[in-house]
Structure 1
Amino acid sequence: MNSLAEPKTAIADLRTDSDRLWESLMEMAKLSATAKGGVNRQALTDLERQGRDLFIQWCRAEGCTIRIDNIGNIFARREGSDPTAKTVMAGSHLDSQPTGGKYDGCFGVLAGLEVIRTLNEHNITTKAPLEVAAWTNEEGCRFPPCMMGSGVFSGVLEFDTMMARTDADGVTVSDALDAIQYRGSDSVSPSEINAYFEPHIEQGPILEDTDTTIGVVIGGLGQKWFDLTLTGLEAHAGPTPMNLRRDAMMGAAEVTQALNRIAHEHQPHGRGTVGSMMLHPGSRNVIPGQVKMTLDMRHWEPEALIAMGESVAAAVDEICQRHGLGYELTPTADFAPEHFNKECVDAVREGAKKLGLSHMDIISGAGHDAMFVGRVVPAAMIFIPCKDGISHNEAESATPEHVHAGCNVLLHAMLNAAGLGETKA
């Protein structure tokens, strides 16, 4: 048998099969297709079970062994030549939003599978084993919070608490896992993993806007979420003079402006969003006596994120005092920024260079499984463009060329991390 360290040109020229990867994406999408061309494969539903079953079927056909842990995460393993080496993993998720697209999450899982198919096809053995992970409930739309499976795996989320979470119908995660028969008992530890790579559509417009094929993701924005309730006094819109009102909506409007201002003061990475607002009593001729709203703050630097949170809290207090409002500001999420492992990031960047692909460093504004996995395992992400930056939408779209490019970068990043073994006999 010949060492694969010798035919460097052959390895440098290695590419995945674009048509095979695209056909796999389209076949997976058929299982949960929506009328508008998207998918509805919510976590732990029967449709998601079908997607899991198909993925496992494909992995077993490539000789992979399958492990499933207690939260339903799936791990498909291809052995390497060194049984003592830690694994090099690729992964993402198979679940979707109710009106999701074909590529969000699924691309990352099937790109990992395509890497294994390509290596099998060319009789290439890696020194370290390779593994593909399909994480449970990344979206969090049926069972909050998001990134549940990777959160439990990394120890960020507590297993028993997550198993007790319910959907809108009162079904627990525990019952849903049993219903689709994906409550596993295999023990999989972060200590087994040497590197983790997650390919994903960008879910934003930067790559397309700059005509760049590969985003080398150096980390992700930290997040602080709050629920804010402002309480004033309902009163008749006609007889009540402006200077005598305790208008909760006026407070909400100023808080929204303050959040926007604070985000602008923390550029280039500051983000501030009011995503939901509910008025009580909701009558056109009654001054709102209560507003419930959400505040979403994000930043790349931990100190800046803390400063944003403190500034918003101070603004809420000042605004409410001025308008005679009571308030309750409740933290609902607090995720530190994720700075990905330098060696993994470099492997992605070198893969893009080797392939002659345009690339740029980029920071993820959205949450991904890699954000949690990266806390306990060296990790990085690979972004490809999506049309108009649209995601979480049935109109979500990526080109076969970009899908293929991202998968090829994954291939060479994983080979970089895993090392080369020997050709199969």
Structure 2
Amino acid sequence: MEMAKIGALPDGGCCRLALTDEDKAGRDLFLDWARQAGCKISVDSMGNIFANRAGRDDSLAPVVTGSHLDTQPHGGKFDGVYGVLAGLEVIRSLNDHGIVTEAPIEVTVWTNEEGSRFAPSMVGSGVFGGKFGLEEALAIEDSEGNTIGSELKRIGYAGDAPCGSRAFAAFFEAHIEQGPILEAEGKTIGVVTGAQAQRWLDVTLLGQDSHAGTTPMPMRKDAVFGLARIVVAIEDLASEFAPDAVCTVGEVAVSPNSRNTVAGCVDFTIDIRHPEEAPLGEMHRRVHAILEEVSDQYELGLNARDVATVPKINFDPGCMEAVREAALELGLPTRDILSGAGHDAMYIGNVAPVSMIFVP
């Protein structure tokens, strides 16, 4: 559990936001372990790390596994880390048994998977898979104006290798399920068939700061009251598209955030997801309509920005079958499962055959 000690929280979780000193420490520890296992290290221009174990024929594209080391502000100790360290353990086991694979084996660490400090999520794998341009990604700012590019340089992970230049024979990402299904059904392995579509929005409501005691209710422009109406309407929207839809208001920042002042500004985020594109598109349209209706009702200024669009992803049938066959050989019970969360494998699927392996 050495990795979990980096950014450890009192409740047992971890905080290693992307490209912070804690993220650097986690990366450094992984590199130490990978070098001890005999891996050759490469870092690309997005800070993505590749630890390569040579095969019998190094002209062949590697079979790749891996995930991420960055976390949410109150992240779990296994989220992302499990996939990275599981890949490293594969290499150690091959070393222990003196096995030389035909093609190289590679373990990756993708940059800024979480999207908590730098939105959107999965930026490192997104550049690698062609979703984002390199310069666009490097210019993404956090809430304090720091860019991905400047922070990569600061922590020493602005690599020289061109991002996206490496060929993969296949990519398998192991990850905790982050849900209750496998445990509830007594399944050890989830064969991930794909990932649901999702949209992210950043929203600002602009009202007017005023005194809580002297401003009559009909004369207020209260951004928090507007937010409250929006949150209820979005919950109702998710219920309308049940059981598959999920909607979340995950971040809220109120200004001036004073006990006795009517709030003049609220910044918040909206996350909507659905397994199918058509219903999600309708939900997305309805969210914008809700924002317009409520802002007009409360006489609020509105700035709604779409910051991430992730399509539904179907994973490679051959890779999925390889996972099923391996689990069967080991006597591990499986079930097919759709990922409700976004993962780096989704963007790598643009350039290589991909599947994911969920564990409870």
Question: Is TM more than 0.5 here?
Answer: yes
Question: 1:301-355: CA deviations, max 9, x gaps?
Answer: 1112111111222233344445555533221222222222222222222222222
Match of 1:294 in 2: 269
Match of 2:247 in 1: 272
Of the three residues 129, 138, 152, the one matched with 2:104 is: 129
Instruction: Confirm or deny: 8 A CA contact 1:237 1:285 kept in the other structure.
Output: yes
What letter corresponds to residue 173 of structure 1 in structure 2? I
Instruction: Confirm or deny: 8 A CA contact 1:190 1:376 kept in the other structure.
Output: no
What letter corresponds to residue 152 of structure 1 in structure 2? V
Q: CA deviation at 1:92?
A: 0.6
Of the three residues 42, 47, 65, the one matched with 1:90 is: 65
Question: Highest CA radius of gyration, 1 or 2?
Answer: 1
Instruction: Confirm or deny: 8 A CA contact 1:219 1:364 kept in the other structure.
Output: yes
**Distance change >3 Å, CA 274–CA 94, structure 1 → 2:** closer
Deviates more, 1:359-368 or 1:165-174: 165-174
**Other structure's SS at 1:50 match:** helix
- Distance in 2 of aligned mates of 1:321 and 1:64: 59
What letter corresponds to residue 149 of structure 1 in structure 2? G
Match of 2:40 in 1: 65
Stretches of structure 1 lacking an aligned partner (at least 5 in a row): 1-25, 386-425
Stretches of structure 2 lacking an aligned partner (at least 5 in a row): none
RMSD: 3.0
Superposed, 1:94-109 pairs within 5 Å as 94-109=69-84
**Distance change >3 Å, CA 323–CA 367, structure 1 → 2:** same
Instruction: Confirm or deny: 8 A CA contact 1:73 1:134 kept in the other structure.
Output: yes
Instruction: Confirm or deny: 8 A CA contact 1:198 1:381 kept in the other structure.
Output: yes
What letter corresponds to residue 376 of structure 1 in structure 2? V
**Distance change >3 Å, CA 44–CA 298, structure 1 → 2:** same
Q: Which structure carries more relative contact order (alpha carbon 8 Å, separation 6+)?
A: 1
TM-score by length of 2: 0.86
Q: CA deviation at 1:255?
A: 2.3
Instruction: Confirm or deny: 8 A CA contact 1:156 1:372 kept in the other structure.
Output: yes
Superposed, 1:236-247 pairs within 5 Å as none
TM-score by length of 1: 0.74
**Other structure's SS at 2:282 match:** helix
**Distance change >3 Å, CA 93–CA 234, structure 1 → 2:** closer
The structure with the largest helix share of the pair is: 1
Match of 1:9 in 2: none
What letter corresponds to residue 100 of structure 2 in structure 1? T
Superposed, 1:387-406 pairs within 5 Å as none
**Other structure's SS at 1:193 match:** coil
The alignment status of 1:211 with 2:193, answered yes or no, reads no
Of the three residues 329, 351, 357, the one matched with 1:376 is: 351
Question: 1:185-204: CA deviations, max 9, x gaps?
Answer: 12464661121111111222
Q: CA deviation at 1:257?
A: 2.4
**Distance change >3 Å, CA 355–CA 327, structure 1 → 2:** same
**Other structure's SS at 1:102 match:** coil
Percent identity over paired residues: 49
The alignment status of 1:327 with 2:318, answered yes or no, reads no
Q: CA deviation at 1:30?
A: 3.5
**Distance change >3 Å, CA 170–CA 63, structure 1 → 2:** same
**Distance change >3 Å, CA 188–CA 299, structure 1 → 2:** same
Aligned pair count reads 360
- Distance in 1 of aligned mates of 2:142 and 2:205: 27
**Other structure's SS at 2:136 match:** helix
